[in-house]
Structure formats: structure tokens, C-alpha cells
């Protein structure tokens, strides 16, 4: 036994239980935090216990470190105590930092449309996955272009909210002060719905069967990976076409999300639209003409 574990009287030094507890509590907190990142719904209820565990670990680590230092070799376990103290202090500090900055980060992201842009891209990626599942079940063919939304809802279990671009929804969802007032949105009646707000007695108009995405009918399951499969367009249902109906208005003219046949999603700026491939043979003259019509409509 080395001297650092021996007391002045030559007796074997004892491990400080409080320092060991500090280390164990810190490790348990780390495991719970990792679990929260993996399955947040199930681990969320444990958050108060994790915070309490970190606080206790910090207290135990600080107290045990001081006791060990003042014990003149009677107690050992300095490494456990300091490690537990540092882990808990770091996690608590990081938690406070995230809590203080999150509102500002969210405000920045929403202000610049970044969050909604990401959600929109995720919608397209999920729709692409559903389309490939549909193709696997139906002889390697994507849904029929003039009924693709209906087919994904019915046979691929796609929720209607997946067809909505959040940025475009914010611009096309209206609220009226009179619950009996019929909105004039230029939208077919079958797409409209209303419900009353019990608090303010106001009516919210929403579009339960509405999509901000269109399918490229020239893209098949075996088309090149860089071929456009789905892209953003103005509100409608079962829409299909090419660059002539593509729109940048959903994201304030900054660009639009595009899903490629390979499964990748890209936010394409207006000046980059010319690079999009709409057919396997990539007929350049026809593609350029579609692009010019699209940009003219914008």
C-alpha cells in the first residue's frame, strides 16, 4: 500500500463514502440525460429527479473533497469526489446556459424561417419514404400523379399534416372575429373547415385537406437519384407537374425544398433552380423553358 493511502498512524485510509456517492450520482445523471436524448417522451418524467441528483452530487463532491483534504490521510477517494463534483457542476451550468439561451435561439430561428424550413424538409423526406413503401407494395410504381396525396393517405398511412408547409400555413391560415363569417380564401369549399375558440369566441379557418407539395410525374422509382421527385408548390391537392408550378413563396422568396429520387432533400435558392433535373434524359431546352416560366410566375 502506498503512503498516500496510509494515515499518519500507519493505518489503512478509508474511502470517503460521500465522495463515492457524488461520483455514482453524477454517472446516473449522465445515463439519464443520454436516455432523455434517445427517448425523451419516456424519460421526461425523470427530469426533476435528475436535477436533484446533480445537486446532491455537487454538494457531496464539494463536502467530501474538503473532508478528505482535511483528514490528514485518514480518508481517501479524492478522485471520485472531484470527478463527481466536476461532472455535476458542468451539467448544471450547461443546463442553465441552455435554458437561458433557448428562447433567444428559437426566436432567431423562427424569425428567419429556419425552423419551419427544416420542418418542411422533414415533411418531404417522410413523404418520400412513404412513396417508396407504396412502390414496394404496388409493383415498383409510385402513386398515380393525379391522386398521389389520396393514395398516400389511404395506403401508406400518411397524416394530412405531413402535406403542410408550416411557413405557408402561417401565411394562409386566417382568423375571423365573427364565427359565422364565411372566409374568402379562394379555396374550394371541400378544403375548408372551422372550429370555435372557446376562450375568445373566435373562429379559426384551416385547411384540413391541403398540400403545399407536388409530384413530378416524369420521375419513377428507377429514375436517377438526382431527379426531382417532390417539390414545393402553392396550396392544392394531388398536384403534379414540373418547374412551371414550383414556387418560392412558401419561404418568402428565399427558396424551396426539393426531394430527389435518391431520398435527399435540398433547400434550393431561386438562382439554383436551373440545376434541377426533371427527366431522366434531362432535355435541356424543355427544362430551360419550364424554368423561365416558373421564374416569370414568381
Query: What DSSP designation does 279 have?
Result: S
Burial tier of 68 (Cβ tally within 10 Å: 0-12, 13-18, 19+): buried
Q: Are residues 84 and 133 in the same domain?
A: no
Q: Are residues 172 and 256 in the same domain?
A: yes
- How far apart, in whole angstroms, are the C-alpha atoms of residue 37 and residue 48? 15
pLDDT tens by residue, 50-64: 888 889 999 998 898
Q: Which residue has the higher pLDDT, 37 or 127?
A: 127
Residue 278 has pLDDT above 70, yes or no: yes
Domain boundary among 76, 111, 146: 111
Q: Are residues 28 and 138 in the same domain?
A: no
Count CA within 13 A, CB hemisphere, residue 155.
Answer: 17
Q: Are residues 96 and 192 in the same domain?
A: no
Question: What is the pLDDT, as a whole number, of residue 175?
Answer: 39
Residues 6+ apart with CB under 8 A from 32: 43, 46, 49, 50, 53
User: pLDDT band at 178, cuts 50/70/90?
Assistant: very low
Q: Are residues 78 and 132 in the same domain?
A: no
Grid coordinates given for 287 = 427544362
Determine the average pLDDT of the residues in 247-251: 86
CB-CB contact of 24 with 48 (8 Å): no
Closest by CA position to 240, among listed 252, 231, 227 = 231
pLDDT tens by residue, 50-107: 888 889 999 998 898 888 888 888 888 889 889 998 999 999 888 888 778 766 655 5
Phi and psi for 268 in degrees, rounded to 5? Answer: -100, 125
Q: Are residues 101 and 124 in the same domain?
A: no
Poorest-pLDDT segment among 3-12, 185-194, 229-238: 185-194
Sort strands 75-76 and 14-15 into parallel, antiparallel or unpaired.
parallel
Q: Are residues 82 and 230 in the same domain?
A: no
Any alpha helices (H) in the chain, and if so which ranges?
Answer: 17-38, 40-43, 47-70, 78-111, 114-137, 148-155, 166-172, 284-297
Residue 291 has pLDDT above 90, yes or no: no
Q: Are residues 131 and 257 in the same domain?
A: yes
User: pLDDT band at 170, cuts 50/70/90?
Assistant: low
The tally of domains found in the chain comes to: 2
Q: Are residues 42 and 144 in the same domain?
A: no
Percent of the chain with pLDDT strictly greater than 90: 29
Domain boundary among 111, 141, 162: 111
Question: What is the pLDDT, as a whole number, of residue 102?
Answer: 67
Determine the average pLDDT of the residues in 194-198: 44
Domain boundary among 111, 128, 148: 111
Question: What is the pLDDT, as a whole number, of residue 106?
Answer: 57
User: pLDDT band at 34, cuts 50/70/90?
Assistant: confident
User: pLDDT band at 200, cuts 50/70/90?
Assistant: very low
Question: What is the pLDDT, as a whole number, of residue 9?
Answer: 55
Which domain covers residue 10, as residue numbers? 3-111
Question: What is the pLDDT, as a whole number, of residue 129?
Answer: 93
Q: Are residues 105 and 139 in the same domain?
A: no
Q: Are residues 106 and 188 in the same domain?
A: no
Query: What DSSP designation does 113 have?
Result: T
Determine the average pLDDT of the residues in 246-264: 89
Q: Share the mean pLDDT of the chain.
A: 77
Q: Which residue has the higher pLDDT, 189 or 155?
A: 155
Q: Are residues 130 and 254 in the same domain?
A: yes
Question: What is the pLDDT, as a whole number, of residue 161?
Answer: 81
What DSSP letter does each residue of 135-183 carry, written as one string?
HHHTTT-PPPGGGHHHHHHHHS---GGGG--HHHHHHH-EEES-TTPPP
Amino acid at each position: 500500500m502506498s503512503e498516500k493511502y496510509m494515515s499518519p498512524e500507519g493505518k489503512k485510509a478509508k474511502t470517503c463514502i460521500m465522495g463515492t456517492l457524488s461520483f455514482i450520482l453524477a454517472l446516473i445523471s449522465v445515463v439519464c440525460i443520454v436516455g432523455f436524448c434517445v427517448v425523451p417522451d419516456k424519460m421526461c418524467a425523470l427530469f426533476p429527479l435528475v436535477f436533484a441528483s446533480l445537486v446532491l452530487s455537487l454538494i457531496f463532491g464539494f463536502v467530501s473533497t474538503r473532508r478528505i483534504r482535511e483528514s490528514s490521510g485518514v480518508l481517501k477517494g479524492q478522485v471520485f469526489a472531484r470527478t463527481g463534483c466536476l461532472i455535476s457542476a458542468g451539467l448544471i451550468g450547461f443546463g442553465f446556459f441552455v435554458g437561458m439561451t433557448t428562447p433567444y435561439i428559437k426566436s432567431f430561428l423562427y424569425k428567419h424561417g429556419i425552423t419551419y424550413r427544416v420542418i418542411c424538409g422533414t415533411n418531404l423526406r417522410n413523404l418520400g419514404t412513404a412513396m417508396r413503401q407504396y412502390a414496394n407494395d404496388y409493383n415498383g410504381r409510385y402513386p398515380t400523379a393525379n391522386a398521389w396525396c389520396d393514395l398516400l393517405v389511404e395506403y401508406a398511412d400518411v397524416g394530412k399534416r405531413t402535406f403542410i408547409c408550416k411557413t405557408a400555413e402561417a401565411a394562409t391560415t386566417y382568423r375571423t372575429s365573427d364565427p359565422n363569417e364565411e372566409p374568402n380564401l379562394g379555396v374550394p369549399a371541400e378544403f375548408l373547415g372551422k372550429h370555435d375558440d372557446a376562450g375568445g369566441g373566435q373562429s379559426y379557418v384551416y385547411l384540413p385537406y391541403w398540400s403545399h407539395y407536388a409530384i413530378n410525374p416524369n420521375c419513377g422509382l428507377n429514375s436517377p437519384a438526382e431527379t426531382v421527385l417532390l417539390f414545393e408548390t402553392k396550396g392544392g391537392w394531388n398536384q403534379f407537374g414540373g418547374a412551371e408550378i414550383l414556387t418560392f413563396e412558401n419561404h418568402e422568396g428565399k427558396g424551396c425544398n426539393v426531394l430527389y429520387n435518391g431520398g435527399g432533400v435540398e433547400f434550393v435558392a431561386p438562382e439554383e433552380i436551373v440545376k434541377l433535373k426533371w427527366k431522366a434524359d434531362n432535355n435541356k431546352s424543355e427544362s430551360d423553358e419550364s424554368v423561365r416560366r416558373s421564374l416569370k410566375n414568381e
